[in-house]
Amino acid sequence: MKSIWPVSVLMILLAALVGLGAAVLATTYPAPHATFSDRPVVYGALPAPQDRARLASWAQPSPDGQWTWQLGDSAASRFSPLDEINASNVAQLKPVFTFDTGLKRGHEAGPLVVGDTMYVTTPYPNDVYALDLTRPGAPVKWQYHPQSQKAAQGVACCDVVNRGAVYGAGRLYFNTLDGQTIALDAATGHEVWKAKLAEISKGETITMAPLLAEGRVLVGTSGGEMGVRGSLAALDAASGKLVWRAYSTGPDKDVLMGPEFRPFYKQDQGKDLGVSTWNPEGWKIGGGNPWGWVSYDPELHLIFYGTGNPGPWNPDQRPGDNKWTAGVFARDVRTGQARWFYQTSPHDLFDYDDINESLLLDIPTRQGLRKVVARPARSGFFQIIDRMSGQVLSAKPFAYINSMKGVDLISGRPIMNPDKEPKEGRTTRNICPAAPGGKDWNPVSFSPRTGLVYIAHNNLCMDEGDVDTNYIAGTPYLGTEARMYPGPGGNRGVFTAWDPVAGRKVWEIREDLPLWSGTLATAGDVVFYGTMDGWFKAIDARTGRLLWRTKLVSGIIGMPMTYKGPDGRQYVAIFAGVGGWSGAIVSGALDPGDPTTALGFVNAMKDLVKRTDAGGRLYVFALPR
């Protein structure tokens, strides 16, 4: 009998070869991008009317159908009372006109509409255009091109974005990347005053949209990745002179902490904690830049804003709690004096800037309505904080978190997970949420009709490794290498409808790409948002069902807004222009061959290049006549 061994051995070898080949192919050819259903996953019922959160009693969202502030109103609702477009007719929306900025970087801002003029701001070089809405095609009425330093582009961490302007008393206020705040006459576009608040030679830039409150223009610096000591400044709206400036680190006199300061938690009580919770001199290059959103309560005369990450990213170089970074401040808008502070991320390990918006809501409790600050924080917790005292009433996760086990409401401190603590000399893996957090800067919206907060956010995790970094003014001060990838489930983005009173998700939509657009809620019970590959979507505010979508020329990281035109119709506007930190692979033409590119974000976005292009176009939609 012929031996069976040679044949058997050959068959085994063949099988092994085929298996090996399959394995090699599977790892070298990436799977086609997963498709996620647009159908919302429902977790529970909407809150009953008496259990709904309400917008702060004094808030008047966008009266007259205008839009004068990026967040809609000073309570940060991003809610419009216009209801001409509703769930039954939104599918008929058609583009009415478009406007090209001529730029191809990330467009994060939304336009403003006052009367019959629309005001548009752009990423660097921070041009401003006024469009005449009374004429068809909305031609440019005037344009303003600021003189700014080109080198500012080299110290902007996350694309050369700008988050928009604010309108008040006939003037338009906005910031330039190289650190100027400019006031323009809204009718003519002439420069009224200009103030310089940041020095690019120290790595400082400004990207945020200023807030106008009680005759003061509030401006915060950027530069937490460059070793910049952050500060929030108040300029006189009439003259541009500096009224007060509150730093985020350092001695109490710089942080404007005086006898009015009454922090709720013990760890925030003491003298000069902004110095003693740092290694000596560390606070001078300590970060804490308030580059995000500021809210304002006119009854309490308080502003609420968060401070950014401490510098450097590598926590071993800055022992201590690193006050007053990665936390939320309440300050008196007239004097800048601090009222309370809560640190969301003491001795921050993961770049959990706390700059996200602070919604000012009144929530029903057994003792009646309680004034709170509702904040979807970077750390992934949805915080409900008492507006007067700074006490955290609840902090429930709206994203998947394994870096922290929860928040201890007695001490106020997050309970850290020691396994996820980055240490020099080793790579810590699978930290969730990744550095952009459960949600980054892109703002949520709130509908008083449903009582839900609409959150467009991320589902990303990361590996992080730290090395000691050097400090050279004007260069990055990081010490961290990271690599991001999709979180559990494989979807990189999530749209969540959140009930802030019950502290739970009501429904969510899983998106393939991270969601970096703002959301907009309207009285027509429609919510608008956009995806990074250019789909602009309208969903039902109650159920999350997709009602309408259209593909735009570029990915969407901007903030949708709605207004009533001079002809009385309701219009919806959104910028298409991918970029920012998440879209840098497209807007900056970065190379995915290096997984640490753009602080690790490019590793999670390798497919974006095939799905959208860079661009900069404003789209305005309306119902057909």
Partner 1 sequence: MSLPCRVSLLPLAALTLLAACGRETRDFSNKMMDSPHRGAKFAGNAWRISNGARLFVWMNCAGCHSHGGGGMGPPLMDAKWRYGSSMSHVAYTILNGRPGGMPAFRGKITEDQAWELAAYVRSMSARTRRDALSGRADEPANVEPLPLEKRRRARAVTPEQDAAQKESSKIEGTGP
Partner 2 sequence: MRRGAVLLVMALGGCSALYGPQSSAMGQGMESAHIGNLFDLFLWVTVPIYLGVMVFLALAMRRRQAMVQGAARPEQEAGWRLGLVLFAVTSALILFGLSVATWFTDRAIARAGAGPALSVEVIGHQWWWEVRYHDPVAGRELRTANELVIPAGATVKVSLSSPDVIHSLWIPNLAGKQDLIPGRTSDVVLKVPKPGEFRAQCAEFCGLQHAQMALPVSVRAPGGFAKWYNAGLATPPVPGGGPEFAGYSLFTGRQCASCHNIAGTPASGQVAPDLTHFGSRTTIASGALPNTAASLERWIADPQRVKPGTQMPQVPLSPEERAAVVAYLESLK
Catalytic residues: 225, 309, 351
CB of 229 to partner 2, least distance (A): 12
* Tokens matching residue 255: 């942080």
CB nearer to partner 2: pick between 299 and 424: 424
Q: What is the 3-state secondary structure (H, E, C) of 168-221?
A: ECCEEEEECCCCEEEEEECCCCCEEEEEECCCHHHCCECCCCCEEECCEEEEEC
Name the segment binding partner 1 (CB under 8 A); options: 346-354, 357-365, 501-509, 583-591.
Answer: 583-591
Check whether the bond before 139 is cis (ω within 30° of 0).
no
Query: What single letter denotes the amino acid at residue 439?
Result: K
- CA separation for the pair 30, 553 (Å, rounded): 25
| Residue 196 interacting partner from partner 1, partner 2, none (CB closer than 5 to 8 Å by kind) | none
- Binder of residue 478, out of partner 1, partner 2, none (CB less than 5 to 8 A by kind): partner 1
DSSP character at residue 425: T
* DSSP type of residue 92: G
Structure tokens belonging to residue 185: 């006459």
Q: Evaluate whether 171 touches 130 at the Cβ level (below 8 Å).
A: no
Beta carbon of residue 321, minimum distance to partner 2 (angstroms, whole number): 8
Q: Which is nearer to partner 1, 153 or 325 (CB)?
A: 153
At which residue do the structure tokens 């298409």 appear?
576
Residues in the chain: 625
In the complex with partner 2, the residue whose CB is nearer, 214 or 272, is: 272
The binder of 285, among partner 1, partner 2, none, by C-beta within 5 to 8 A per type, is partner 2
CA distance linking residue 487 with residue 403, whole number of Å: 13
Question: Which positions ≥6 away from 109 have C-beta within 8 Å?
Answer: 70, 120, 121, 122, 161, 162, 163, 164, 165, 209, 558, 559, 575
* Nearer to partner 1 among residue 156 and residue 506 (C-beta): 156
Residue 618, both tokens: 């404003």
Closest contact distance (angstroms) between CB of 323 and partner 2 is 10
Residue number, 143 or 470, with CB nearest to partner 1: 470
DSSP state of 222: B
Under the criterion CB under 8 A, does residue 594 sit at the interface with partner 1?
Answer: yes
Which of 292, 436, 438, 465 touches partner 1 by CB under 8 A? 465
Residue 387 corresponds to which tokens in the numbers above?
Answer: 């507006």
Shortest distance in whole angstroms from residue 314 CB to partner 1 = 12
Shortest distance, CB of residue 317 to partner 2, whole angstroms? 7
Sign of CA dihedral 186, 189, 195, 197: positive
Measured distance CA(336)–CA(231) in Å, rounded: 11
Site for partner 1 in 542-571 (CB under 8 A): none
Instruction: Give the whole-angstrom CA distance, residue 252 versus residue 304.
Output: 18
CB of 326: closest distance to partner 2 in angstroms? 15
Residues 526-545 that bind partner 1 (CB under 8 A): none
Residue 321's binding partner out of partner 2, partner 1, none, with CB under 5 to 8 Å set by partner kind: partner 2
Of positions 225, 321, 354, 440, contacts partner 1 by CB under 8 A? 225
Q: Choose the binding region for partner 1 from 161-169, 358-366, 502-510, 588-596 (rule: CB under 8 A).
A: 588-596
Q: Does 429 bind partner 1 (CB under 8 A)?
A: no
Token readout for 550 is: 């259209």
Q: What is the CA radius of gyration of the chain?
A: 24
319 binds, among partner 2, partner 1, none (CB under 5 to 8 A by kind): partner 2
Answer with the entry of partner 1, partner 2, none that 594 interacts with (C-beta below 5 to 8 A by kind): partner 1
Cα separation, 237 vs 91, in Å, equals 42
The reply to whether 599 sits near partner 1 by the rule CB under 8 A is: yes
Cα distances (Å, whole numbers) of residue 421 to 314, 373, 418, 436, 598:
11, 29, 5, 17, 21
Shorter beta-carbon distance to partner 1: residue 121 or 314: 314
**Near partner 1 in 149-208, by CB under 8 A:** 150-157
Contact footprint for partner 2 (CB under 8 A): 275-282, 284-285, 317-321, 424-426, 467-473
- Contact positions toward partner 1, by CB under 8 A? 150-157, 225, 425, 427, 463, 465, 467, 469-470, 472, 474-478, 481, 483, 584, 588-599, 602
